[in-house]
Structure 1
Amino acid sequence: MGREMVEVADGVLVATSRRELTTSTVVRDNGTTLLVDPAWEPDELEALADFLEEGGLTVSAGFATHSHHDHILWHPGFGGAPRWATRGTADTVAEHRGELLEFLGPDWPMQLMPLVGQVHPVPQTDPTTLPWPGPHIEIVEHDGHSTGHGALWMPGTRVLLAGDMLSDVELPMTDETGLAAYDQALTILEPYVRQAAVLVPGHGHPTGSPLERWTADRRYLDAVLAGDEADDPRLTNPGMVQVHAANLTGR
């Protein structure tokens, strides 16, 4: 099965899974490649590996934006490059790896099981810079959505890989770390959003209007914090009524 790759900026390509519109991002530079959050279904992972092979692209590093099961996957075709994450993400994955494997279900291929969650913390000598041979990429860490969530900021192309934040299809999910942490995360991300030309969410569609995404999350969260009714079009998407109810319990 083929897999469509959309180039959203120079050297930045995004594939979108049929499952929950989960994005996988390939950053290429002179034949070397960074692979961020490869997902989702096994045949889609294989198709991504085929794309890399056909393009003569070698994966020099991987990055998991956070510790959820759909963002810590891998395929043998990606090779044995180091797979990085923030310290908080790596520690969470190590502690809960058994549970994360259960989330994948009994049909997950046995040959892919050992590769799930094999992420390592970015060296603490410089925890804000991704160690790979390509252009400078900054890790923007916060605790919105999950502990040690790491967005990636690429100043050269002005691309922000936001992980599971700033989605056009999902509401903010605050049940894991709380409303205050999510509120702080939006503050941390704001200056990067204002500089960005392109934003890629972990679920949903890349956009050339990043500030609109940030503003939508800010407006929604402010309404929840104030106890006001949230008038957000994402509430009509599957599962979002339940997400909203969970957010309300955290007030």
Structure 2
Amino acid sequence: MSPQPSLPSWATWWQRPFPDANTLLLHGQQPALVDTGFVGHAEETAAWAHAHAGELGLVVNTHWHSDHVGGNALLQAQGATVAAGAPEAEAIGRRDPGCCAAEYLDQPVAAYTVDVPLDDGQVLRLGDAEWEVVRTPGHTPGHLALWQPEERLLVAGDALSDYDVGWVNLAVDGLEAATTALASLERMADLAPRVILPSHGPIPADPGAAFAAALRRTQRLVDDPDGTVWYGARRIFAFALMIRDGIPTDDVEPYLHARAWVTDAAQLLDLTPESLVTELVTTMLGSGAVIVRAGRLYAAADHTPVAAESLRVPYPRTWPVSEPR
């Protein structure tokens, strides 16, 4: 087995179980944090960052899904500046109802603003090192990676991990989203990084092998649109179970029928929502991805519990208008 790639002394990596994305802290005169986990663990994220770096200057988001931006509001209230890809920054500035796909996915996100919109090729000073912004749309249209050329470090976001690739939303982002994700992967692979820092799972021991596997997986998303829709549905439903400490079995079907992503997936698959829900639950039970225990349906994958009260944040359509900072 290849040895674990080493990180420079000015980078601290925090591998976190779902529902949190991994977090990277970059030390220096102005410490920076890449991704902030889920809203239910915002205080834990802030405490960890302050314990390791003191006052935090900047937060950078690879993209706006709930497991990456959940600590933004708290850290911003404590003085941090937030930076994110320009398409997402603009939507958040307008307070678009679709921000963070929070309402669409039923994944809560506390209201925040983006102070610094990031464009492809822009150079950021994070900690004491300079990083290049690399636009990598696919998983979301505003998804970005961060590239540190001297150390050849690549923050890949949800584009890939050792075991998976990010799901793509064909209903919202178009049927070409999988092709876009593949092109983004190819662009990152061309950088030939020494270390890949993914948003989920461990640091891959062999970057070349990780990219080869990810390219094969993403090509399957391109070749099999129906499979891509099912893949996304399984990921979204498992996450819903994780953040809610399961759902009572009697409430599972009503919960799913109320979700916009279920309606969209059913339409793409030429199914009724009822038949999609039945097949989704049945197949995930059959595969062991979800389990029934004491009258509740749970996600089987390792995850950290979330306090129910932490989910009670408003959808972006009711976020207060952001004020310039």
Structure 1 length normalisation: TM-score?
0.72
Provide the residue aligned with 1:40 in structure 2: 38
The question of 1:68 aligning with 2:60 is answered: no
Amino acid at match of 2:139: H
Change (3 A) 1:84 1:207: same
Q: Equivalent residues in 2 for 1:201-220 (5 A)?
A: 201-220=198-217
Q: CA deviation at 1:138?
A: 0.5
RMSD: 3.5
Provide the residue aligned with 2:142 in structure 1: 148
8 A contact 1:86–1:150 mirrored in 2: yes
Q: CA deviation at 1:127?
A: 5.3
8 A contact 1:150–1:163 mirrored in 2: yes
Q: Deviations over 1:8-33 (max 9, x none)?
A: 5122222233324621111112x531
Alignment match of 1:164 (pick from 152, 158, 168): 158
8 A contact 2:19–2:67 mirrored in 1: no
Q: Deviations over 1:19-72 (max 9, x none)?
A: 24621111112x531111111253x33233223333453212110111223222
Alignment partner of 2:129: what SS? coil
Q: Deviations over 1:144-168 (max 9, x none)?
A: 2111211011123321111111123
Change (3 A) 1:80 1:61: same
Q: CA deviation at 1:171?
A: 3.2
8 A contact 1:122–1:130 mirrored in 2: no
- Distance, in Å, in 1 between the alignment partners of 2:159 and 2:118 is 24
- Distance, in Å, in 2 between the alignment partners of 1:213 and 1:117 is 34
Q: Deviations over 1:176-232 (max 9, x none)?
A: 35122112212221222x1x222111222222322222111211233444459x9xx
8 A contact 1:160–1:198 mirrored in 2: yes
Provide the residue aligned with 1:25 in structure 2: 24
8 A contact 1:17–1:41 mirrored in 2: no
Alignment match of 1:122 (pick from 117, 122, 140): 117
- Distance, in Å, in 1 between the alignment partners of 2:127 and 2:48 is 21
- Distance, in Å, in 1 between the alignment partners of 2:221 and 2:121 is 33
Change (3 A) 1:172 1:72: closer
Which shifted more, 167-176 or 145-154? 167-176
The question of 1:173 aligning with 2:170 is answered: no
- Distance, in Å, in 1 between the alignment partners of 2:61 and 2:146 is 10
Which shifted more, 179-188 or 138-147? 179-188
Q: Deviations over 1:65-88 (max 9, x none)?
A: 112232223253563222111211
Amino acid at match of 2:134: V
Alignment partner of 1:35: what SS? strand
Provide structure 2 residue ranges, at least 5 long, that are not aligned to the other structure.
239-264, 270-325
Amino acid at match of 1:170: D
Provide structure 1 residue ranges, at least 5 long, that are not aligned to the other structure.
1-6
Provide the residue aligned with 2:235 in structure 1: 239
- Distance, in Å, in 1 between the alignment partners of 2:196 and 2:118 is 26
Alignment partner of 1:85: what SS? strand
Count, aligned residues: 221
Report which of the two structures shows the higher radius of gyration computed on alpha carbons.
Answer: 2
Percent pairwise identity? 21
Q: CA deviation at 1:98?
A: 4.5
Change (3 A) 1:123 1:180: closer
